[in-house]
């Protein structure tokens, strides 16, 4: 029986150490580094970097090799949370049980800390690439930078956030909502998985199979988030519940009801599992993460 | 006699075409692309990308080769302007004679358009690198990505903006002010020059000489900006004058007076000119740009 708890704990230590070290090296000991560290080390679940390393392992790669890229993706994720929480966007005051960046510091600092984390992600990726002595491996890192910037930018996450903000208080249909989530959450989760595959030297077939895995768990993650926003415990989650309804947000529960949303999440996870059927035990972490995504309480 | 006006006009056409094409390719025809294009094509002087290409030419490189990197730097610069203009920072309503992004659109869109331009800069750099067939040249592009992310991030431009915002209404000494400007404006201008040198295959000696050039014109640019904010014509500049004093900002004129500030700017430009004495006529564009920086009216 695969023990996800220990697996996550071990990977989280690696990730947290790498992130902490990276901030330390970049730091000029001022307010900006402090704000970057505050949000980056606020106790996130590290799902994206863990997925990146687990995907690397699933194709027989060394997960250690994927660590810098995995952490760069977590920086991109954290920057997006800081900016999404801003008064001009979702106006959230609590995140992971702590004050959001603009509440703890101020709006200017929160905007700049987000900007700095996004920039640091690309520095981290380029430095990992520069540590290669072989030029052809360098090309692989350029590919990953291209890949992550597309998933994070106006073709991906940012377009998703734009549509999300624009659609508050209007009613979307199922396809529109799915598209928003594929862009806003799905693109970066899929990129996390595929970055791991590329760094683990997976084959084209691996890439195809794990693309399906990534797409399905990415969407399932968002459906589960919407469900938690309805029935989750604010104390366990470390953030307010019921905020989606209060903001007039389109969510899966608001569109199809709670019971149907749960069925839908299960269907997505079944599809993800199916796509990695042929992988054997080395994909056990990916399977356990897929189950966890819809069972989590926070 | 070198004709800077024609030189700038020719380069600006190249730059504007490349930027317009890049936005078009990335576009999903929605509001975010529109906002990105609005600020990117708002008629900026394109000093940074022109410097990048001129530095490439100065070391006998082909300026066309530096075009993607030059334009990526302009994207970084434009993102920083959008975010600096936000209500939480400088709260400016006019830029280049047009409404600032958050006035024309809204705050959420302005924040995201800035984020998207920063992300697009790194996509542009990685794609330029990926078009190389030779792995060792790929390493050069990783080096440039590292370089630009350091100049733009919390070790450079962002730290400068943090200190600038924090120092409003407090009095700085000359060294503190110089440091802020070296970070806020100088780092990216220097990076523009050095990116051109690297892509033009300049020697280590070239790099050293042009580093001094870049540092001095970077600072001179900011001193000239401060002077313009005092005595510039708002109509010619396309932005309000006198805003620095109104915001209680530390500037060179407020610290050393107008006459001394002008002398200081001239001294910096003389130092920049001196550093490229040995370059011959192929550095004429760099010389003309240095003079222009302190003579410009906008």
What is the structure's pLDDT at B153? 96
Please judge whether B89 and A106 are an interchain contact, meaning their C-beta atoms are less than 8 angstroms apart.
Answer: no
pLDDT tens digits along A147-202: 999 999 999 999 999 998 888 778 889 999 999 999 999 999 999 999 999 999 99
Residues of chain A in contact with residue B150, where contact means CB-CB under 8 angstroms, are 123
User: How would you classify the pairing of strands B94-95 and B98-99?
Assistant: antiparallel
What is the structure's pLDDT at A205? 97
Q: Which of residues 222-261 of B touch A (CB under 8 A)?
A: none
Please judge whether B130 and A149 are an interchain contact, meaning their C-beta atoms are less than 8 angstroms apart.
Answer: no
Residues of chain A in contact with residue B92, where contact means CB-CB under 8 angstroms, are none
CA distances from B180 to B48, B166, B211, B251, B258 (A): 19, 11, 18, 10, 19
pLDDT (mean) for B255-264? 94
Q: Which run of H or of E encompasses B99?
A: strand B98-99
Which of A111, A123, A136 comes nearest B135 by C-beta?
Answer: A136
* Fold of the CATH domain B4-295: Farnesyl Diphosphate Synthase (1.10.600)
Q: State both tokens at B295.
A: 């003579």
Please give the residue of chain B at the shortest CA–CA distance from A84: B108
Q: How confident is the model at residue A28 (pLDDT cuts 50, 70, 90)?
A: low
From A59, A76, A74, select the one nearest A14 (Cα to Cα).
Answer: A74
Which of A33, A83, A125 comes nearest B115 by C-beta?
Answer: A83
DSSP β-bridge partners for residue B94? B99
- Contact A18/A74 with Cβ under 8 angstroms? no
Which of B86, B139, B154 comes nearest A116 by C-beta?
Answer: B154
Please judge whether B123 and A161 are an interchain contact, meaning their C-beta atoms are less than 8 angstroms apart.
Answer: no
What is the structure's pLDDT at A204? 96
From B102, B110, B94, B88, select the one nearest B36 (Cα to Cα).
Answer: B110
Q: Does B25 lie at the interface with A, CB-CB under 8 angstroms? A: no
What is the structure's pLDDT at A124? 98
What is the structure's pLDDT at A263? 96
What is the structure's pLDDT at A95? 87
Percent of chain B surpassing pLDDT 70: 96
Q: How confident is the model at residue B237 (pLDDT cuts 50, 70, 90)?
A: low
Q: What is the mean pLDDT of chain B?
A: 92
Q: Does A103 lie at the interface with B, CB-CB under 8 angstroms? A: no
Q: Where are chain A's structural domains?
A: 4-295
* pLDDT tops 70 at residue B213: yes
Q: Does A168 lie at the interface with B, CB-CB under 8 angstroms? A: no
Q: How confident is the model at residue A237 (pLDDT cuts 50, 70, 90)?
A: low
The residue ranking higher by pLDDT, B240 or B117, is B117
Query: For residue A259, with 0-12 CB atoms within 10 Å meaning exposed, 13-18 middle and 19 or more buried, which class applies?
Result: exposed
pLDDT tens digits along B49-91: 999 999 999 999 999 999 999 999 999 999 999 999 999 998 9
What is the structure's pLDDT at A26? 79
Please judge whether B136 and A141 are an interchain contact, meaning their C-beta atoms are less than 8 angstroms apart.
Answer: no
pLDDT tens digits along A240-296: 677 777 777 788 998 999 999 999 999 999 999 999 999 999 999 999 999 999 887
Q: Give Rg (Cα) of chain B.
A: 18
Which of B89, B139, B158 comes nearest A135 by C-beta?
Answer: B139
User: Any idea which of A141-145, B42-46, B193-197 has the lowest mean pLDDT?
Assistant: B42-46
What is the structure's pLDDT at A27? 63
Q: State both tokens at B188.
A: 């990216």
The residue ranking higher by pLDDT, B185 or A169, is B185
3-state helix, strand, coil in chain A (%, to 5): 75, 0, 20
* pLDDT tops 70 at residue B239: no
* pLDDT tops 70 at residue B22: yes
* pLDDT tops 70 at residue B236: no
pLDDT tens digits along B130-140: 998 777 788 89
pLDDT (mean) for A97-109? 96
Instruction: List CB contacts of A25: < 8 A, sequence separation 6 or more.
Output: none
Q: Does B143 lie at the interface with A, CB-CB under 8 angstroms? A: yes
Please judge whether A119 and B163 are an interchain contact, meaning their C-beta atoms are less than 8 angstroms apart.
Answer: no
What is the structure's pLDDT at A136? 79
Residues of chain A in contact with residue B153, where contact means CB-CB under 8 angstroms, are 26, 116, 119-120, 123
What is the structure's pLDDT at A236? 67
Q: What is the mean pLDDT of chain A?
A: 92
* pLDDT tops 90 at residue A98: yes
Chain A interface disruption, residue of B125, B153, B164, B167, most A CBs within 10 A = B153
ipTM score: 0.95
């Amino acid at each position: 029986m695969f023990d996800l708890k220990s697996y996550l704990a071990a990977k989280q230590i690696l990730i947290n150490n790498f992130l902490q070290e990276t901030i330390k090296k970049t730091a000029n000991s001022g307010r900006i580094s402090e704000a970057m560290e505050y949000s980056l080390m606020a106790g996130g679940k590290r799902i994206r970097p863990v997925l990146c390393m687990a995907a690397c392992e699933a194709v027989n790669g060394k997960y250690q090799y994927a660590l810098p890229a995995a952490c760069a993706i977590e920086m991109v994720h954290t920057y997006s949370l800081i900016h999404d929480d801003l008064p001009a966007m979702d106006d959230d005051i609590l995140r992971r049980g702590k004050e959001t960046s603009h509440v703890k510091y101020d709006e200017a600092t929160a905007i700049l800390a987000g900007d700095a984390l996004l920039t640091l992600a690309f520095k981290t990726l380029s430095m990992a690439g520069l540590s290669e002595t072989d030029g052809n491996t360098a090309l692989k890192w350029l590919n990953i930078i291209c890949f992550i910037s597309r998933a994070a930018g106006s073709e991906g996450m940012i377009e998703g956030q734009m549509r999300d903000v624009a659609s508050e208080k209007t009613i979307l249909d199922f396809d529109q909502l799915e598209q928003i989530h594929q862009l806003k959450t799905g693109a970066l989760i899929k990129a996390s998985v595929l970055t791991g595959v590329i760094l683990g030297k997976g084959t084209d077939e691996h890439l195809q199979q794990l693309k399906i895995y990534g797409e399905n768990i990415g969407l399932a993650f968002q459906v589960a988030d919407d469900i938690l926003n309805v029935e989750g415990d604010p104390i366990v989650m470390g953030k307010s519940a019921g905020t989606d309804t209060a903001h007039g947000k389109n969510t899966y529960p608001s569109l199809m009801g709670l019971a149907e949303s749960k069925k839908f999440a299960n269907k997505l996870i079944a599809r993800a599992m199916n796509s990695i059927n042929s992988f054997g035990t080395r994909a056990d972490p990916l399977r356990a993460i897929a189950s966890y995504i819809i069972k989590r309480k926070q």
